[in-house]
Structure 1
Amino acid sequence: MSDKVVRVAELFAGVGGFRLGLEGSPESPDNTKYKVVFSNQWEPSTKAQHASQVYEARWGSEGHTNMDIAEVPTAAIPDHDLLVGGFPCQDYSVATTLKNSKGLIGKKGVLWWQIHRILTEKEVKPDFLLFENVDRLLNSPAKQRGRDFALILKSLNDLGYAVEWRILNAADYGMPQRRRRVFFMGYRQGTQLYEALQQCDKSDWLEEQGVLATAFPCRIKSTSATSWKASLSLFPEKPALKSFSIAEDLVTISETFNTGGGATPFENAGVMVEGEVYTAKTQPLYDGPAVLLRDVLQNGEVTEEYFIPEEDLGKWEYLKGGKNEVRKSKEGFEYRYSEGGMVFPDNLEAPSRTIITGEGGKAPSRFKHVVRTDRGLRRLTPVELERLNMFPDNHTHLEGMSDVRRAFFMGNALVVGVVERLGAALYERINQQ
């Protein structure tokens, strides 16, 4: 594949964060490396498909589908080299098997099993995978911590992929938002990356050799336990990785993984190859420039509607403040409610807090961002929210698209700069094959 365009299929596309990170802006695209040949975006909870409308407005309708991915035949998805997507965090348990089926069926509506279905049915499977999810994926569900991620790893292993993962906080690498997400990458058996991961020292992969380590340098945290050799500077010892097997079938993992209720066995970074998992706690290595909340503000351009009226200030202060008070439930039972205070207004000299889907609208809220300017306290604009996710200004602006909806998009989106760096590191490794 050396020096060829990498063909991409983008699932759960939203307003196109993965595509922006890989191809570049549609106004000035860099299509010499990646090209999206298929995309799908479907929002089951709304009649109007707002995110898909934005996606088509930016890239056109060619190769794009706006329908439930479960209704898209695998044959309708063109062959591709890289499959990407930020799928929802759900209950991934396996419900049953089918005697006359190639695969396993998870609970209805769980979108991971649509990825599994596509990878199972594709005659020419993609060489590479890149997925994103909330970091609690490694810790879910509460009664079997780590089971959901174990099911994902095992299903990819059965399909012939090795996997590496890391929980990345975009702000740890100079980006403008503190947004923690788990990114995991798959390499199909027979590729150079699969063979390299199979043969390497797994600590070296996590710290130096892996695609994630190339894009986002890190160091494995040393454990408190040391041996006599580690105390001698001439013989430094590598930090030990936790390792275990996920050799059981998917149904057994679903029913029995970590049923004792202990902590998840998955640390914030790791690899899986041939059913063997190696995992460790890592810390970021970065000393470059940082983009702060103040750097994204549209000072002088913001209309009056974003400013907090004096009469509403008390509501904002109450919601943002600490509480230790007696409340009453709908059934009439009294209980004590407590929560800590939040910084109010938000600190302009640091990366922003995580954007949430409820960021838009004028109503006072504990979680919406509020900044102090020369003109007073105000909420963030849609363009500022886009900048916090490193989207182009007004990427989500369409005639009739409300500011509340645009804020919702950004609460669901990823930080484009993370995908840019992962895409660059992956492309470099692909061209070493």
Structure 2
Amino acid sequence: MEKTVVELFAGVGGFRCGFNDVEFDGGTVKEQNNWNFVWANQWEPSTKTQAAFDCYIERFGENSCVCQDIGEVDKTTIPDHTLLVGGFPCQDYSVARSLSNEKGIEGKKGVLWWEIAEVLEAKQPPFVLLENVDRLLRSPSTQRGRDFGIMLRSLLDNGYAVEWRVINAAEYGFPQKRRRVFIFAYHESTNYFKEMKKYSPEQIVYSNGIFAKEFPIKDVKLKKGNTIISQEEFEDIVYISDEFNFHFFNAGIMVNGIIHTYKVEPKECKEITTLGDILEKGEVDEKYFLLDEKLEKWTFLKGSKKIERTKPNGEKYYFSEGQLAFPDKLDVPARTMLTSESTTNRSSHVVKDKVSGNLRTLTPVEAERIQMFPDNWTNIESKAMTERRRYFMMGNALVVGVVQKLGHYLEKIVEDEN
């Protein structure tokens, strides 16, 4: 079985950077070519320019990515592949009966999960690796677990077993406290599926599955739960949408429509990468330093507060926030980086500069290092990629080191299919 990959919602190429151990010296991109990325798609519908796509093709080549709304792509034209990867938005995945066809099912318009489901149906890749925000497991708030349940049933209906884990990158030695759920699906036709059948769900989650192998957890039994999502319990996916409600913990597996979920804790990592470790060592441009007249605003934003507000109905309430470290501590990993990084807001990192000792925001290179991209990865010629967009791209990206570890283990899985 060839190590071929299709990358959806490719962004600036986080999966490819991780899977192929990409190095970049400011001029030349060097890939280890562990995996052959045969097709990629990146399209940002909310902007006129396509900065992420521009970055992808500048780094990986003119024909490395397709800039087209994935909803308009004929999924049968996508090349055959062994592994489908992608980080996709967390949205409302509710479904309903099609008005034009009593037995048909249609998903909420504009929801990108259904594009993934169409690829699975059309191409049946043996393996799938997806990344999302961890709140996916408990969305929506009015029907906990429904959205993830819909995803699991979609994968089940296409012949897959699924393992998932919420991974906080910092707990495994990486430079950012970023919690994301990773979803690994494998088709029932694979040798890997047959191999995993030898183990109990608990053994897969705690010791034998892909996440346990690469991101070890404590052998401590905390909370667990199970339920059925197959046709025995829910006739079709509409019933999932209408009735399914389940508390997913941060790890679990679904095989043959039976869900087993566990609350797990990571094993202690002896080596950590701190925010101080990734700061630039030389002099930093003065434009990143905080102006004296803005220090008062920064202090307010970072401080604790209790503000009276009024609801639309006139009712008064208090909005409260706790205090954040100001400046950020340099002896621990960075906080979760958002798309608003470097702007004057509560979530932006503010550090004490190592050379001058003055306070400043992060540089674009430091933002890239927090996500473990090569330095100046997003510093491209395209005018669409402004400095503000460089921060935005990193706020949207994944921690490259996490998928790097998963990619290396997936190589072994694919090699065993031959």
TM-score range, shorter chain: over 0.9
The CA distance in 2 between the partners of 1:78 and 1:63, in whole Å, is 13
Identical aligned residues as a percent: 49
Which residue identity lines up with residue 18 of structure 1 in the other structure? F
Match of 1:409 in 2: 393
The CA distance in 1 between the partners of 2:135 and 2:269, in whole Å, is 27
SS of equivalent residue, structure 1 residue 346 = coil
Which residue identity lines up with residue 62 of structure 1 in the other structure? N
Is the 1:197–1:273 Cα contact (8 Å) retained in structure 2? no
SS of equivalent residue, structure 2 residue 114 = helix
Distance 1:287-1:121 versus aligned 2 partners, 3 A rule: closer
Match of 1:176 in 2: 175
Is the 1:10–1:36 Cα contact (8 Å) retained in structure 2? yes
For structure 1, the residue ranges without an aligned partner over 5 or more in a row are: 224-239, 259-263
Shift of 1:200: 1.1
Which residue identity lines up with residue 405 of structure 2 in the other structure? R
The structure 2 residue matched to 1:366, chosen from 346, 351, 371, is: 346
Match of 1:353 in 2: 335
The CA distance in 2 between the partners of 1:158 and 1:141, in whole Å, is 22
Shift of 1:100: 7.0
Distance 1:292-1:395 versus aligned 2 partners, 3 A rule: same
Is the 2:97–2:104 Cα contact (8 Å) retained in structure 1? no
Is 1:274 aligned with 2:275? no
Shift of 1:55: 0.6
Is the 1:84–1:130 Cα contact (8 Å) retained in structure 2? yes
Is the 2:156–2:256 Cα contact (8 Å) retained in structure 1? yes
The CA distance in 1 between the partners of 2:387 and 2:323, in whole Å, is 27
The CA distance in 2 between the partners of 1:313 and 1:304, in whole Å, is 15
The CA distance in 1 between the partners of 2:250 and 2:189, in whole Å, is 27
Match of 2:22 in 1: 25
Match of 2:153 in 1: 154
Which residue identity lines up with residue 140 of structure 1 in the other structure? S
Is 1:16 aligned with 2:18? no
CA deviations 1:254-300 (Å, max 9, x no partner) are 00112xxxxx4211000001000111011111433211000110132
Is 1:85 aligned with 2:67? no
TM-score by length of 2: 0.92
RMSD: 2.0
The CA distance in 2 between the partners of 1:389 and 1:136, in whole Å, is 20
Shift of 1:333: 6.8
Which residue identity lines up with residue 129 of structure 1 in the other structure? V
The CA distance in 2 between the partners of 1:145 and 1:345, in whole Å, is 37
CA deviations 1:190-233 (Å, max 9, x no partner) are 1122112233111111111111111111135424xxxxxxxxxx
Listed as ranges, the matches of 1:33-432 within 5 Å are: 33-97=34-98, 104-122=105-123, 125-223=124-222, 241-247=224-230, 248=234, 249-258=236-245, 264-327=246-309, 335-361=317-343, 364-373=344-353, 374-375=355-356, 376-399=358-381, 400=383, 401-432=385-416
Distance 1:11-1:98 versus aligned 2 partners, 3 A rule: farther
SS of equivalent residue, structure 2 residue 265 = strand
Match of 2:26 in 1: none
SS of equivalent residue, structure 1 residue 313 = helix
Distance 1:194-1:103 versus aligned 2 partners, 3 A rule: farther
CA deviations 1:59-117 (Å, max 9, x no partner) are 11324110100111112210000000001000001133487799742111000001111
Match of 1:235 in 2: none
The CA distance in 2 between the partners of 1:163 and 1:140, in whole Å, is 18
Match of 1:230 in 2: none
The CA distance in 1 between the partners of 2:271 and 2:144, in whole Å, is 37
Is the 2:214–2:405 Cα contact (8 Å) retained in structure 1? yes
Is the 2:228–2:259 Cα contact (8 Å) retained in structure 1? yes
Is the 2:251–2:263 Cα contact (8 Å) retained in structure 1? yes
The CA distance in 2 between the partners of 1:58 and 1:409, in whole Å, is 15
Distance 1:367-1:192 versus aligned 2 partners, 3 A rule: same
Is the 2:95–2:107 Cα contact (8 Å) retained in structure 1? yes
Is the 2:365–2:376 Cα contact (8 Å) retained in structure 1? yes
TM-score by length of 1: 0.89
Distance 1:343-1:83 versus aligned 2 partners, 3 A rule: same
Which residue identity lines up with residue 380 of structure 2 in the other structure? L
For structure 2, the residue ranges without an aligned partner over 5 or more in a row are: 24-28
Is the 1:94–1:250 Cα contact (8 Å) retained in structure 2? yes
Which residue identity lines up with residue 386 of structure 1 in the other structure? E
Match of 1:231 in 2: none
The CA distance in 2 between the partners of 1:327 and 1:120, in whole Å, is 49
The CA distance in 1 between the partners of 2:244 and 2:102, in whole Å, is 24
Distance 1:166-1:121 versus aligned 2 partners, 3 A rule: same
SS of equivalent residue, structure 2 residue 180 = strand
SS of equivalent residue, structure 1 residue 199 = coil
Distance 1:334-1:271 versus aligned 2 partners, 3 A rule: closer
The CA distance in 2 between the partners of 1:405 and 1:360, in whole Å, is 11
Shift of 1:241: 4.3
The CA distance in 2 between the partners of 1:420 and 1:102, in whole Å, is 42
